[in-house]
Amino acid sequence: RPRVLSGIQPTAESFHLGNYLGAVRQWVDMQETHDAFYFIADLHALTVNPSPSELRRRTRVSAAQLFAAGLDPERSTLFVQSHIREHSELAWILICNTGMGEAARMTQFKDKAAKFGESSAGVGLFTYPILQAADILMYQADQVPVGADQKQHLELTRDLAQRFNSRYGQTFTVPNPYIPKEVEKIGDLQDPLAKMSKSSSSPQGLLEVLEQPGPLRKKVMRAVTDTGSEVVADPENKPGVTNLLRIQSAVTGVPVPELEARYAGLGYGAFKKDVAEAVVDAFAPIRERTEKLLADETELDRLLAVGGQRAAAIARQTMEAVRDHIGFLPKS
Ligand code: TYM
């Protein structure tokens, strides 16, 4: 079986629809066909300096949501990144094989740094994609399911793997991104050309998995639509309607052309009502299961410990080879 690996940051109280459609759903599907490794990227979350209690809580909420969304602890290995100390070690080794210019080209870093102001952005934001490369290469992943915003980080990962292999001998599998076109960039409901994101300007544009049906419905009904009244996919002239069509199609499994036919002549109101119900129906069971899982932290922590043991076995193997290939003396 090919191996799949992906990670998600515990930086909010809830995942949002972009995380869910762009990543988590693929994770659940791929556990059927792949040797599956998924993790909660708490080391990456440190780049935004959460308080210790926030970080602890969000890490558990993230794990609970992933199990609730359908990750099966028997078929998938779900673990917490910081439990595997080798991630930080491999990140350092890869940092020493990365050029300043190559790291400085990362558009996500440039965007985030611009928000903080050039010199007050943390160094962690700069090395973030190299830690991500370490996560992926550690597990010799073949496929990495992510949203379009991670494409450039995957290219860097491939470059670093190839460079390391040619400098030090075959060590890493060169991974392939897996980015399904229809859901690669779910738009913000208030600004459909921008990706839905936890750091987006208005909470009105964000649909959170753990939100109650009331606010979810309200946000969909108030989503920005476009001039005219026809429900058709037209990314250039109707980005708002197109985004909602893609969301409804992804959530219900009904192809976009079929939806266009269904709403012909009905106008935006009827359409948005159905989009809202589809999202509520998808999220409600996940929210309920998440609440149940969070009620038993001991069991949740136990499941993560089991995942951690399986991940550790692979990380240990990879790092033995890395240390040897790079010329570190054995500890004896
Ligand atoms: P994070 O936590 O920001 O996002 C998790 C996943 O959700 C996807 N995503 C979206 N997909 C479609 N439309 C959107 N609007 C949208 N917003 C977010 C992201 O692309 C991502 O797949 N750097 C990663 C975490 C990470 C990782 C890794 C991923 C750390 N190490 C190793 C893969 C492999 C991130 O920022 O995730």
- pLDDT digit string, tens, across residues 170-213: 999 999 999 999 999 999 999 999 999 988 768 999 999 999 99
Q: What are the CA-CA distances from residue 326 to residues 133, 165, 193, 292 (Å)?
A: 17, 10, 45, 47
* Strand bridging mode 143-145 / 35-40: unpaired
The helix (run of H) or strand (run of E) holding residue 2 is: none
Determine the straight-line distance between the first and last CA of the chain, rounded to whole angstroms.
Answer: 34
- Separation of CA 20 and ligand 1 centre (Å): 10
Q: Which of 112, 185, 219, 272 is catalytic?
A: 112
Residue 248, class by beta-carbon neighbours within 10 Å (0-12 exposed, 13-18 middle, 19+ buried)? buried
195 within ligand 1 shell (Cβ under 6 A) = yes
3-class secondary-structure state, position 178: strand
Looking at ligand 1, which atom is closest to the CA of residue 188? Answer: 15
Q: Which residues are annotated as a binding site for L-tryptophan?
A: 135
- Separation of CA 149 and ligand 1 centre (Å): 7
Nearest to 35 by CA among 177, 132, 142, 137: 142
Q: Which of 115, 151, 198, 292 is catalytic?
A: 198
Residue appearing with tokens 């004896």: 332
- Average per-residue pLDDT for the chain: 96
- Separation of CA 278 and ligand 1 centre (Å): 23
Q: What CA–CA distance (Å, rounded) separates 37 from 152?
A: 21
Is 179 within 8 Å of 26 (Cβ atoms)?
no
Confidence of residue 116 (pLDDT cuts 50, 70, 90): confident
- pLDDT digit string, tens, across residues 240-268: 999 999 999 999 999 999 999 999 999 99
> pTM for the full model?
0.97
112 is catalytic: yes
